[in-house]
């Protein structure tokens, strides 16, 4: 007897623009911070980025129908798909006037993008890109599928963030992205415009994917290969505050123009102590990693923003991205704790963890029971619907992927049985993708992609996924 998931439980895939869209002539998007970052010869020479280039990617921009056919055959009935801000507005939108309510401390309390502003934005927008996104999304929706549109998955227009100039000149003398409060305003304009133009298409909105990665990798973990690679804890906190405000102000406009549920997709992990006496340290790390940002938009209170009523109740659901755990011990770092090598995300690529668990080619320990803990803690704290919006493994030989999927789904089933409102499972990824600074080395796809021909080839794990998705049931065999 298998584990039967609810009839309405959604199976699907997640993907974004920069990692999937490019690959065929005419799909290039050179107007982003990430584009110039991965093309920068200094970054490539120093090994900060791989040297692989996104314009050689899987080509979803042109091959979306083929990928949707593939997803359909694998029993997928939902997808989270991203829009690239830089495709919609390759040129600045600063001159479009909107109403901005700011308090004496410089906090942005409300932004109203009215019809006049939307018409001005429409004149600035790349209409071809807008129409192409409509075609892509409509192709999925017309199949009777659930669609989550995500507005931001890290790349920003170069006119609002130039990471090479930030690194060379400093953030005060360059377009500094989330360090500039104007970015909150421009992001809200972009969100309002997308709601106005494409608001009939999504079932759910997501304002942004994994905002914590942006401020932590960009300004603290500067060896990660993420732009702008500018070490500053003060900058990280400023970016976090502006990302929180951007989510909330975009939420306001998405609700104004569409009334549809608006959530956020968050990078999660279960944090565990190396030894029992480190429980308090682990809980401190858990709170900082998973709760501070979400507390701000759910309760209007966190160490990032203090207490602000204008931010509370600004999230309708939470997208949960889970890959592995974090094991911590006290340290003399500013945070007071550090990840312990040999566990979770800190393992040897394609190796074995300190407790004998296999690890992905990224060096991430396979730890499926952690997803149950993450779902349980989010549910207990926020009582909001949850959707697993990313879960997958870098596994070029497909050695572990089938069991990875099934074991994580078994823990999701356990959470549902406990009364936790988990609505679906979106796998990362449908096809192999461009994995940021790592380039094409990490193979997350249920389908292998020949980057020369762009042909897709099913991996054996795709057939396991199909069996589970079509039957809504997890079986042991």
Contact 232, 212 (CB under 8 A): no
Q: How far apart are CA 209 and CA 217, in angstroms?
A: 14
Q: How many CA atoms lie within 13 A of 1 on its CB side?
A: 1
The DSSP-derived string for 399-426 is SSHHHHHHHHHHHHHHHHHTT--EEEEE
Q: How far apart are CA 427 and CA 409, in angstroms?
A: 11
Residue 52, C-beta contacts closer than 8 angstroms, at least 6 positions apart: 38, 434, 439, 440, 441
Q: How far apart are CA 183 and CA 97, in angstroms?
A: 14
Write the burial class of residue 333 (CB in 10 Å: 0-12 exposed, 13-18 middle, 19+ buried). Answer: exposed
| pLDDT value, residue 477 | 55
User: Would you name the residues annotated as active-site residues?
Assistant: 210, 390
Contact 321, 268 (CB under 8 A): yes
**Phi and psi for 307 in degrees, rounded to 5?**
-125, 120
Cα torsion for 136, 11, 422, 442, to the nearest 10°? -80
111 DSSP β-pair partners = 100
| pLDDT value, residue 334 | 87
Q: How far apart are CA 396 and CA 442, in angstroms?
A: 7
Q: For residue 142, what are the CA distances in angstroms to 76, 78, 433?
A: 14, 12, 25
Q: For every one of its 477 residues, what pLDDT tens digit does the chain have, with 9 covering 90 and above?
A: 699 999 999 999 999 999 999 999 999 999 999 999 999 999 999 999 999 999 999 999 999 999 999 999 999 999 999 999 999 999 999 999 999 999 999 999 999 999 999 999 999 999 999 999 999 999 999 999 999 999 999 999 999 999 999 999 999 999 999 999 999 999 999 999 999 999 999 999 999 999 999 999 999 999 999 999 999 999 999 999 999 999 999 999 999 999 999 999 999 999 999 999 999 999 999 999 999 999 999 999 999 999 999 999 999 999 999 999 999 999 999 899 999 999 999 999 999 999 999 999 999 999 999 999 999 999 999 999 999 999 999 999 999 999 999 999 999 999 999 999 999 999 999 999 999 999 999 999 999 999 999 999 999 999 999 999 999 999 875
Contact 49, 437 (CB under 8 A): yes
Q: Give this prediction's pTM.
A: 0.98
Q: For residue 120, what are the CA distances in angstroms to 84, 91, 94, 150?
A: 20, 13, 11, 23
**CA dihedral for 335, 263, 374, 297, sign (positive or negative):** positive
Contact 61, 23 (CB under 8 A): yes
- Vertex 307, ends 306 and 311: CA angle to 5°? 110
Q: How far apart are CA 250 and CA 258, in angstroms?
A: 12
- Per residue in 375-414, pLDDT (tens digit) is 999 999 999 999 999 999 999 999 999 999 999 999 999 9
């Amino acid at each position: 007897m298998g584990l039967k998931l609810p009839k309405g439980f959604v199976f699907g895939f997640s993907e974004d623009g920069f990692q999937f869209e490019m690959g065929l002539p005419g799909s290039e998007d050179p107007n982003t911070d990430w584009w110039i970052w991965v093309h920068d010869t200094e970054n490539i020479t120093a090994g900060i980025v791989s040297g692989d280039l996104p314009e050689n990617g899987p080509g979803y921009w042109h091959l979306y129908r083929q990928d949707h056919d593939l997803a359909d055959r694998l029993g997928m009935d939902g997808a989270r798909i991203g829009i690239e801000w830089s495709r919609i507005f390759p040129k600045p939108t600063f001159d479009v006037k909107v109403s901005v309510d700011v308090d004496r401390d410089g906090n942005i309390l409300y932004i109203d993008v009215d019809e006049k502003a939307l018409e001005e934005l429409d004149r600035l927008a790349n209409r071809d890109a807008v129409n192409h996104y409509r075609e892509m999304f409509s192709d999925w929706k017309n199949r009777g599928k659930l669609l989550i549109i995500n507005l931001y998955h890290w790349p920003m227009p170069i006119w609002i963030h130039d990471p090479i100039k930030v690194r060379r000149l400093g953030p005060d003398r360059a377009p500094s992205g989330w360090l500039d409060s104007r970015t909150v305003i421009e992001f809200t304009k972009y969100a309002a415009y997308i709601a106005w133009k494409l608001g009939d298409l999504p079932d759910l909105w997501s304002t942004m994917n994994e905002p914590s990665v942006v401020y932590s990798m960009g300004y603290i973990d500067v060896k990660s290969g993420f732009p702008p690679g500018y070490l500053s804890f003060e900058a990280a906190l400023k970016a976090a505050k502006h990302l929180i405000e951007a989510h909330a102000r975009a939420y306001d406009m998405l609700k104004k123009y569409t009334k549809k549920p608006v959530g956020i997709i968050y990078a999660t992990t279960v944090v565990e102590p190396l030894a029992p006496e480190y429980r308090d340290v682990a809980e401190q790390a858990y709170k900082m990693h998973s709760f501070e940002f979400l507390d701000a938009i759910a309760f209007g209170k966190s160490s990032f923003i203090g207490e602000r009523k204008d931010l509370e109740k600004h999230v309708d659901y939470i997208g949960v991205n889970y890959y592995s755990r974090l094991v911590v011990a006290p340290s003399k770092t500013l945070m007071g704790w550090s990840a312990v090598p040999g566990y979770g995300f800190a393992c040897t690529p394609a190796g074995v963890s300190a407790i004998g668990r296999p690890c992905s080619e990224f060096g991430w320990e396979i730890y499926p029971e952690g997803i149950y803990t993450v779902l349980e803690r989010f549910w207990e704290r926020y009582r909001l619907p949850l959707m697993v919006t990313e879960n997958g493994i870098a596994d070029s030989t497909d050695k572990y992927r089938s069991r990875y999927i099934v074991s994580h789904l078994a823990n999701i089933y356990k959470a549902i049985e406990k009364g936790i409102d988990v609505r679906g499972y979106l796998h990362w990824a449908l096809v192999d993708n461009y994995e940021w600074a790592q380039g094409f080395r990490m193979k997350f796809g249920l389908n292998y992609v020949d980057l020369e021909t762009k042909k897709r080839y099913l991996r054996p794990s795709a057939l396991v996924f199909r069996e589970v998705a079509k039957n809504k049931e997890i079986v042991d065999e």
